[in-house]
Amino acid sequence: MSVKTINLTLQIWRQPRPDAPGRLETYKAENIPTSASFLEMLDIVNERLTMAGIEPIAFDHDCREGICGMCGSVVNGRPHGPEKETTLCQLHMRHFKDGDTLVIEPFRARAFPVVKDLVVDRSALDKIIAAGGFISVNTGQAPEANSLPVPKDKADLAMDAAACIGCGACVAACPNAAAFLFTGAKISQLALLPQGRPEAARRVLSMLAQMDALGFGNCTNHRECEMECPKGISISNIARLNREFNKAAFLSREKIPA
């Protein structure tokens, strides 16, 4: 079978350590099959760098089917590259033209320090979840699954929000480096379901306080998070977060954490 290939110029952020300065290095990426994924293109470049005695480019990745949320870089200014609702691993080289120059940088945000090259530390997102992104049920406590009906439209909306893969593209896309879409998605999922209501007030107050403490910015309705989200998470989840916050702040007995 004949394989269509293209030649590209890559400008890639290289940074050896978190505390070392980084810079854009230029590499030629020649004869890249257009049916390869973006990460497979990086694999090809890395194999060539290895054989040339140059340390390969570090980048995070794992499932390569768009669900684990491990991959992600900024390609020509856009997190996960130019295709709508597509993670970097699902972006294929057929979307680029022969001769293109691609500038590839790590996700940038105060809360995501660079570890090496394109790898950043996103553990701040885990800390937001630890602050309340769950329903407090111990193993063994659950009632029979069908004892509490959930309206189908609510379950579907909850699923839309739950599709978040925690990649952090929303933070990288936001001019304020806010994590409202990520946090709003989890708050919405659990607020929409009857099982999540008992803790709703406590959850939203605690998660938002944690988000602030970790150095994420505030939401000023730029909507770039929604534009770049590889899973199409809607900013209506941010509206629901705000509504949950107002309800909790004014109507519940939960205290806003200091």
Partner 1 sequence: MQLDAKIPAGPLEAKWDKHRFDLKLVNPANKRKFDIIVVGTGLAGGSASASLAELGYNVKTFCIQDSPRRAHSIAAQGGINAAKNYPNDGDSIWRLFYDTIKGGDFRAREGNVYRLAQVSNLIIDHCVAQGIPFAREYGGLLANRSFGGAQVSRTFYARGQTGQQLLLGAYGALMRQVAAGRVTMFPRREMLDLVVVNGQARGIVVRNLITGKMERHLAHAVVLATGGYGNVFYLSTNGMACNVTATWRAYKRGAGFANPCFTQIHPTCIPVHGDYQSKLTLMSESLRNDGRVWVPKKPGDTRPPEQIPEEERDYYLERMYPSFGNLAPRDISSRAAKLMCDQGKGVGPTGRAVYLDFADAIKRLGKAEIEARYGNLFQMYEKITAQNPYETPMMIYPASHYTMGGLWVDYNLMSTIPGLFVLGEANFSDHGANRLGASALMQGLSDGYFIIPYTMGGYLAGTSIPAITTDHEAFRESEEYARKRTESLLKIKGKRTVTDFHRELGSIMWEYCGMSRTDAGLTKARKLVADLRAEFWENVTVPGGDQDLNQSLENAGRVADFLEFADIMILDALARRESCGCHFNEAFQTEDHEALRDDENMCHVAVWEYAGEGKDPIFHKEPLVFENVKLVTRSYK
Considering only residues 218 to 257 of the shown chain, the ones binding partner 1 according to CB under 8 A are: none
- Work out whether 16 is an interface residue with partner 1 (CB under 8 A): yes
Judged by CB under 8 A, which of 10, 125, 173, 241 binds partner 1?
125
Nearer to partner 1 by Cβ, of 152 and 253: the residue is 152
Residue 169's nearest CA partner among 258, 58, 89, 50 is: 89
Q: What is the dihedral of CA 122, 124, 128, 133, to 10 degrees?
A: 30
Considering only residues 159 to 178 of the shown chain, the ones binding partner 1 according to CB under 8 A are: 159, 162-163, 165-166
Q: Which stretch binds partner 1 (CB under 8 A): 97-105, 158-166, 214-222, 242-250?
A: 158-166
Structural contact between residues 78 and 38, judged by C-beta atoms closer than 8 angstroms: no
Considering only residues 71 to 100 of the shown chain, the ones binding partner 1 according to CB under 8 A are: 85-86, 90, 92, 94
Judged by CB under 8 A, which of 7, 24, 28, 47 binds partner 1?
47
Phi then psi for residue 162, to 5 deg, are -70, -10
CA–CA separation, 110 vs 112, rounded Å? 6
Nearest approach, Cβ of residue 222 and partner 1 (Å)? 26
- Work out whether 45 is an interface residue with partner 1 (CB under 8 A): no
Residue 171's nearest CA partner among 219, 240, 127, 213 is: 219
Nearest approach, Cβ of residue 146 and partner 1 (Å)? 5
Angle between helices 123-130 and 180-192 (to 10 degrees): 30
